[in-house]
Amino acid sequence: MKSFTGGTLVGAIISVVTAAPALTAIDPPPTCTMIYGAPIMALSESAAVNYLQLTNSGKYSDIYCGVATLTDSGYHPQWDFTGGGIGVSGCVVTSPWLTIGSSNGPRKPLYWTPTEVTTSWDAAYFKNVTAKATSSYNSTSTFLACQSKKPVTSTSKPWKLYLLTDDTPAPSGAVPLYDVEVETCAKTQLFVEPIRG
């Protein structure tokens, strides 16, 4: 068995350390920072709808296929208005985009989709949301919020949102509206709040 004297042991350790490859810092995984912005709020003559916020009926796991709804606690992102769309900027690979669904009548259902389908929105901070004119309807900034008799999700009864493309009055009383039996409806506009900092 060999024994090292103080100087020899230090020299052996130094030669091993200098012969080893240099350690490099491992890049940390990318972090995700949600940048909070401002909600899109309902401005309505109906006290029940006024100041509700735009959100999604889906859970976070199925955020991309939910129905556009109004609740008292909606999305608060920095919005993406690129290319005439309304997208939720945030900490996800693909942001959900507000999409105008098709229907034969004046009430067009609104959905969230994983890609930008609707490119005819006119929206910006401190401005009302407007759907630009298409071959099917004129430009409009009027929406219809309808509360269903049954919860849209298992825990809540938010207001389902439609684009209203003519001057049809809001349905009153219990009426069927597409796939939802409506308890009550109210006309509203949607206003993009300014980011406060």
Residue 158 forms part of a structural domain: yes
Residue-level pLDDT at 41: 95
Intervals of the chain under pLDDT 70: 1-36, 58-65, 90-94, 149-156, 169-182, 197
Residue 85 forms part of a structural domain: yes
Identify whether the C-beta of residue 143 lies closer than 8 Å to the C-beta of residue 116.
no
Residue 55 forms part of a structural domain: yes
Q: Is 14 helix (H, G, I), strand (E, B) or coil?
A: helix
pLDDT digits (tens, 9 = 90+) for 103-125: 888 889 999 888 899 999 999 99
Residue-level pLDDT at 100: 96
Residue 167 forms part of a structural domain: yes
Give the separation between CA 81 and CA 143, rounded to whole angstroms: 19
Closest CA relative to residue 41, chosen from 88, 66, 74: 74
In this structure, the number of other CB atoms found within 10 A of the CB of residue 125 comes to 15
Residue-level pLDDT at 99: 95
Residue-level pLDDT at 30: 44
Residue 22 forms part of a structural domain: no
Residue 111 forms part of a structural domain: yes
Residue-level pLDDT at 2: 52
Residue 97 forms part of a structural domain: yes
Which residues form the domain of 49?
39-192
Residue 177 forms part of a structural domain: yes
Residue-level pLDDT at 17: 45
Domain count, the chain: 1
**Residue 68, H or E segment:** strand 68-71
